[in-house]
Structure 1
Amino acid sequence: MSDDIVIRVEGLSKLYMLGQTLQPYGTLRHAIQNVATAPLRWIKAARKVQAGPDSAEFWALKDVSFTVNRGDVVGILGRNGAGKSTLLKILSRITEPTTGRVGVKGRVASLLEVGTGFHPELTGRENIYLNGAILGMTRAEIRRKFDEIVDFAGIEKFLDTPVKRYSSGMYVRLAFAVAAHLEPEILIVDEVLAVGDSEFQKKCIGKMKEVTANGRTVLFVSHNLPAVAALCRKGILLKEGRLVLTDTAENTIARYKKEGMSAEDTGIAVAMNARSGTGTHRLEYVTPTAEEFAARTPLVFRAGIRQFRDDAKFHYSLHFRNEADDEIFAINSEYLDGGGIAPGNREVEVVIDSPWLPPGDYRVEAFLHSAGIIDHWPDACRFHVGSDVATLGYSLASAKNAGKVLASFRLTSQARAET
């Protein structure tokens, strides 16, 4: 690799087998016993998979090649299932490619599925030092950055609490603070920032701008196009696992919009396989009860959740975005009493009485999460709010310019007594 090139990808492909099942997990003690008593048999068993009756090949990436130079800030775009998260996992050495080569020069910090690189039984303090050690930093180097990390994450009161007891928001804040402050040469960030509140997202974007100003390289996956436009200078567009375009961020975003790629769908099996998260549970569908809602009626959404592995209780959140891809509001079961959703195959219904939305088209982003992200579906469903807003006291024109949400209010007036 030349001095300027820090990432080189050549003919990269990744194959998954849909309908394939792995051998069940055993205990560490049994694994050690098996290696000691029959090492060859253990190696064969570790590699063995079982093909289900409906198994099929799915190429998450196919013959992808590109280079990234030192100091580049690259936005990676593509619809759900395009291969974005798979690409980042390969670059982060979390998973291996099926074919092709990847060369990475420099220390890499990744914020992909929340909790990657964190040990749930360790405290926040211990995980900071663990992640620093993984990046090859000395204890003295980590100590110099420690206060900045804690201040940015805002978790000082919970620093000596095991991270398994953190809320998803706390987990994200600490994970990003660690990744961004431990001075990696390359910072890789997936869509997980969407779990945080809007103020924290702005804080993260500001920190990434600071990182890039110091000449470091950033790869950023997001469906938030204004954030990509504000942060990135270059863009990579993926479609069905193949490279469509490498260009300026502006041209890449324009091509993405032109092809309507965020609205495409390749079927539940492929989409569920490609989505980020631990995958213990997956959302099979998120469906509005009507394609068009009247402005003053409740918004109702039903979801189906399938369990793939045993897990504890978890939470469900929906983030609502308008035509400009601005987040309008979000709902999160974590804010309700009841301790979350019980594991297993579930049906969930959400009824939202307020706020009322102006006329227009909206996209819903869905999450299952506990200590980290279980499933992230950036484009779970779409719906329309109709133009009949007269009953709210708004005209159609005034409703579209009254803000991101509409208020139901009362106003009275009376003559003032003269004094």
Structure 2
Amino acid sequence: MGDVILKAENISKQYRLGLVGTGTISHDLNRWWHRIRGKEDPYLKIGDSNDRSTKGSSDYVWALQDINFEVKRGEVLGIIGKNGAGKSTLLKILSKVTTPTTGAIKTKGRIASLLEVGTGFHSEMTGRENIYLNGAILGMTKKEIASKINEIIAFSGCERYIDTPVKRYSSGMTVRLAFAVAAFLEPEILVVDEVLAVGDAEFQKKAIGKMQDISKGDGRTVLFVSHNMAVIQKLCENSILLNNGKFVMKGKTEDVVSHYLNQSVNNNSEYIFDTLSQNNNIVACTTKLRIEDSKGDLMNEIPLGKPWKVKVFFTVKEAVKNLVIGLGMTNMYDVSIRTTWSIPQDFQAGNYFVTFTEDNIKFNQGQYKLIVGISRGSEVIEYIDNDIFITISDVVYNQEASIVNNKSGIISNQMKTSIEKLVDND
């Protein structure tokens, strides 16, 4: 393997849907009969790809299919893709939490994993006891753990609660302690899933700095999964992209992220939300969103300086007071640009739409994401962050329009709002 510390060879993982185990005695017998004759598992030849948006024709699904890549010593590798792409399944296989259906993982050295909040922790034990437990699981001696324990506790920021049972920790405290253990007990390979998103901004900054230190300073390897493209670009020199359980590409992070973002954008200007059947217990839900020009025609791209509007259609199921509809806008790295919200109003049951209007768009050319929310006071009733994109083109509609740099922070209430009741013929 040379300088390669981890190698994935033809990794595939198959699951049976709906049931635990293989499902039937006939399947088990069939597998056994093929195995004693030295033949391949017959159920490896069937199964749908891991596309959640389509109805499958098989009870088997490939969470991963034929994944091949190498990771060098000291490399920080980002793993990106949509929800359901197979990222967490891949990390579980790399961490030996589960085994691949086919293929093999070759590694050199210890692997420490942070796959979800509380992984490897015993809720009845104190934070200090869990440090020793986690260290032992990672193959460390008691002496090695004791030599690092003060650094671990200080980094986690949980000194006051370190002798309190972990079951009384918040999720953020648990992640802080778990990351500190994994980072300071010096594994050769550190595997980190999206769990850092649970921590606060201060801890995320510390954790990212620590991962940079252990890769550049100590020459250890980090595999990092995140949906935060800004963090991926800051931390990872190289990344791999997965889609529906299949390997898409590996390369420089900037190129991989660009490919992923362009892949994620569609050209729809109207989005239908099937929320009526899914949210039976809430008082209001969004049904449709339209991106229009000033004449009401759908727009795929918005020229700089052109008037535009967003119509959000929603249903109120029962009389409700102080309902607010919000429209958020982020750049493609999920950095918030601005939020606009309607004035709190009382509604009777019925169908409505709110129109968010802007006289001219002032953002840099590129893709942006829209987020829709419904709230009542401090209660969030609905939050839709569902790949709703707008594209601002390089065509200039209004020469006098001044560009607002999308890194300048949150800009609030830049759009006008109005709410109307939907008539039957709409």
Q: State the match for 2:386 in structure 1.
A: 381
- Residue-pair matches, total: 298
Computing the radius of gyration from Cα coordinates, the structure with the larger value is: 2
Residues 288 and 381 of structure 1 are in contact (CA less than 8 Å); yes or no, is this contact kept in structure 2?
A: no
* Native 8 Å contact 1:79 1:263 kept in 2: no
2:248 corresponds in structure 1 to 244
Distance in 2 separating the partners of 1:261 and 1:384: 6
Query: For the residues of structure 1 that align with 2:199 and 2:90, how far apart are their CA atoms?
Result: 23
Distance 2:224 2:183 in 1: 13
Which residue in 2 is equivalent to 1:115? 118
Q: Does structure 1 conserve the Cα–Cα contact (< 8 Å) formed by 2:114 and 2:178?
A: yes
1:301, CA displacement in angstroms?
A: 10
How far residue 187 of structure 1 moved from its aligned partner, in angstroms, is 0.6
Aligned partner letter, 1:111 = L
Partner residue, 1:86: 89
Q: Is the 8 A contact 1:292 1:383 kept in 2?
A: no
Match of 1:405 among 396, 402, 410: 410
Equivalent residues of 2:332, 2:368 under 8 A apart: no
Kept after mapping to 1: 8 A contact 2:188/2:220: yes
The residue aligned with 1:291 is 289
Q: Which runs of 5+ in 1 are unaligned?
A: 24-53, 265-285, 303-319, 330-357, 367-377, 388-394, 409-419
Q: Normalised by the size of structure 2, how large is the TM-score? A: 0.60
In the alignment, residue 119 of structure 1 is paired with which amino acid?
A: H
Q: Residues 172 and 255 of structure 1: is their aligned pair in 2 closer, same or farther, counting only changes over 3 Å?
A: same
Aligned match of 2:260 in 242, 253, 256? 256
- 5 Å-filtered alignment, 1:19-418, equals 19-21=18-20, 56-213=59-216, 214-260=218-264, 288=286, 291=289, 322-328=330-336, 361-362=368-369, 380-382=385-387, 403-406=408-411
1:179 and 1:292 map into 2 onto residues whose CA distance is: 46
- In structure 2, distance between residues paired with 1:198 and 1:262: 31
Q: CA RMSD in A?
A: 4.2
The residue number in structure 1 matching 2:344 is none
In the TM superposition, residue 55 of structure 1 has moved relative to its aligned partner by 6.6
Larger strand proportion of the pair = 2
Q: Counterpart of 2:219 in 1: which secondary structure? A: coil
Q: CA separation in 2, counterparts of 1:7 and 1:195? A: 28
Corresponding letter in the other structure for 1:164: K
Structure with the bigger RCO (C-alpha within 8 Å, sep 6+) is 1
- Does the Cα contact within 8 Å between 1:111 and 1:179 map onto a contact in 2? yes
Q: CA distance change for structure 1 residues 162 and 89 in 2, over 3 Å: closer, same or farther?
A: same
Unaligned 5+ residue runs, structure 2?
23-56, 269-283, 292-307, 316-327, 338-361, 374-382, 393-399, 414-426
C-alpha change, 1:210 and 1:249, in structure 2 (3 Å) is same
Report how far residue 106 of structure 1 moved. 0.6
% same residue: 50
What's the TM-score once normalised by structure 1's chain length? 0.61
CA distance in 2, matches of 1:96, 1:261: 34
**Alpha-carbon spacing, 1:396–1:139, altered in 2? closer, same or farther (3 Å):** farther
**Deviation at 1:228?**
1.2
Amino acid at match of 1:75: G
Deviation at 1:182, TM superposition (A): 1.0
Offset, 1:85:
0.6
